Amino acid sequence: MQRQFPKPDEIFELMRFKKPEFDARKRRLAAALTIEDLRAIARRRTPKAAFDYTDGAAEDEISLRRARQAFRDVEFHPSILKDVSALDTSTTVFGGPSALPFGIAPTGFTRLMQTEGEVAGAGAAGAAGIPFSLSTLGTTSIEDVKAANPDGRNWFQLYVMRDREVSYDLVRRAAAAGFDTLFFTVDAPVAGARLRDKRNGFSIPPQITLGTVADALPRPWWWWDFLTTPKLEFASLTATGGTVGELLDAAMDPTISFKDLDVIRAMWPGKLVVKGVQNVADSRTLADLGVDGIVLSNHGGRQLDRAPVPFYLLPEVVKAVGGRTEVAIDTGIMSGADIVASVAMGAQFTLVGRAYLYGLMAGGRAGVDRAIEILRGQVIRTMKLLQVSSVAELNPGHVTQLRRLLPLRESGS
């Protein structure tokens, strides 16, 4: 190879300087390419107790790890020579449209993670054309969520409280505000053991102690936001004080039954979906009862540790209900590929909780927008590489679920 002195004009052709971005928030969010990147930013910017409340699960956190591993163990089977220049990511779920096959799951105490809370989530969901779900334990009122997402789809997640009138009033308010779907939640008769919260001394509202002061020193912006914005208001709780588990145990009712489902069903004018279903037999029962949908969920691993992995349960349930009710799924979803795999295995829809909260903690509303943007891009790329041009084309032939854990014997449904 003949050597030569570098020519200045050729060097200049190679030089490409980006315009500097002086907005630190925009700069850090633009550098996030995955939900895991957003999680890393969130961890740096959020006090340990608040981050661990979001990031953690129950007891040894086995359920959450298994759920995420189940998605990592997916094998895709792409087709070839199909035109994917035009792609349709839209779908219909629970009687209405969604621009993407995922929506934002209900999460509790959201403004503790970042003060924009549910307003940021609802606004971002509305802008993206996807549904937003408000938790009974949300920190923004039903009416304020509607104001933040006036033209989009809003869903309400209901816990049946010891004081039934509290729950009934929430149902009436959600209906009056135009929420179109109610999630009747069945997996939380008592609180799971959130050991990170206990070890951190995490309480609602957060208490200022020597430990929290030490943790706050490198994160003064979080405390500034918390102390200079309106006091936390919960969708249902009128009193706070204590750990999350203590609050849940004080509010939830372990006597909840199918009678409560009947009462709420008679009150609610929209679509009624049962959230927290974890076996085939209950799925069949609910389909027989004619509910509009079920959500396969183990509460993000935050209730019963070692609970079934919803993604593994999905094909059995879809087969069992036979199209008599819609099936959605949550728990462990951290990428657009996870969403595509879920839909291919028969889910009508998916819900993301932590993935959205990592974005919220990383950058408020802009961070939620970025989380949705990342997931949208991954959904589009995965579909194009599978060579399907619409969500409706996805089917079980596109996915193999590789199993690490198999039962020693067949368990009952």
- How many beta carbons lie within 10 A of that of residue 161, not counting itself? 20
Arithmetic mean of pLDDT, 261-275? 97
Contact 55, 200 (CB under 8 A): no
Q: What residue ranges do the domains of the chain occupy?
A: 91-378
pTM reported for the whole predicted model = 0.92
- State the pLDDT confidence band at 198, using cuts at 50, 70 and 90: confident
Contact 212, 181 (CB under 8 A): no
Identify the pLDDT of residue 218.
Answer: 79
Residue predicted with more confidence, 346 or 7: 346
Is the pLDDT assigned to residue 13 strictly greater than 90? Answer: no
**Interatomic CA distance for residues 123 and 412, integer angstroms:** 43
Helix (H, G, I), strand (E, B) or coil at 245: helix
Element (H, E) at 261: helix 258-267
Tokens coding 164: 């039934």
pLDDT number for residue 248: 73
109 against 335, higher pLDDT:
335
The pLDDT value recorded for residue 409 is: 64
- Can you tell me the mean pLDDT for 167-175? 95
Q: What is the pLDDT of residue 4?
A: 80
pLDDT band per the 50, 70, 90 thresholds, residue 204: low
Check residue 179 and give its pLDDT: 98
Q: What is the pLDDT of residue 249?
A: 73
* Residue 276, φ and ψ in degrees, nearest 5: 105, 20
Average pLDDT over residues 236-264: 76
Residue type, 403: R
Beta strands at 96-98 and 102-104: parallel, antiparallel or unpaired: unpaired
- Residue 297 · residue 277 · CB < 8 Å: yes
Using DSSP, how many helices (H) and how many strands (E) does the chain show? 17, 12
* DSSP letter (8 states) at residue 400: E
Reported as a pLDDT band with limits 50, 70 and 90, residue 206 is low
Average pLDDT over residues 55-59: 95
More confident residue, 203 or 385: 385
Render pLDDT for 312-324 as a digit per residue (tens, 0 to 9): 999 999 999 989 9
3-state secondary structure of 39: helix
Q: How many Å is the Cα radius of gyration of the chain?
A: 22
Residue 216: predicted pLDDT:
66
> 240 pLDDT exceeds 60?
no
pLDDT digits (tens, 9 = 90+) for 117-149: 999 999 999 999 999 999 998 999 999 999 999
Average pLDDT over residues 350-365: 97
Q: Is the pLDDT of residue 99 over 80?
A: yes
**Across 255-270, average pLDDT:** 95
Average pLDDT, the chain: 91
Average of pLDDT values for 348-362? 97
* pLDDT above 60 (res 411): no
CATH 3.20.20.70 assigned to 91-378: yes
Positions annotated as catalytic residues are 299
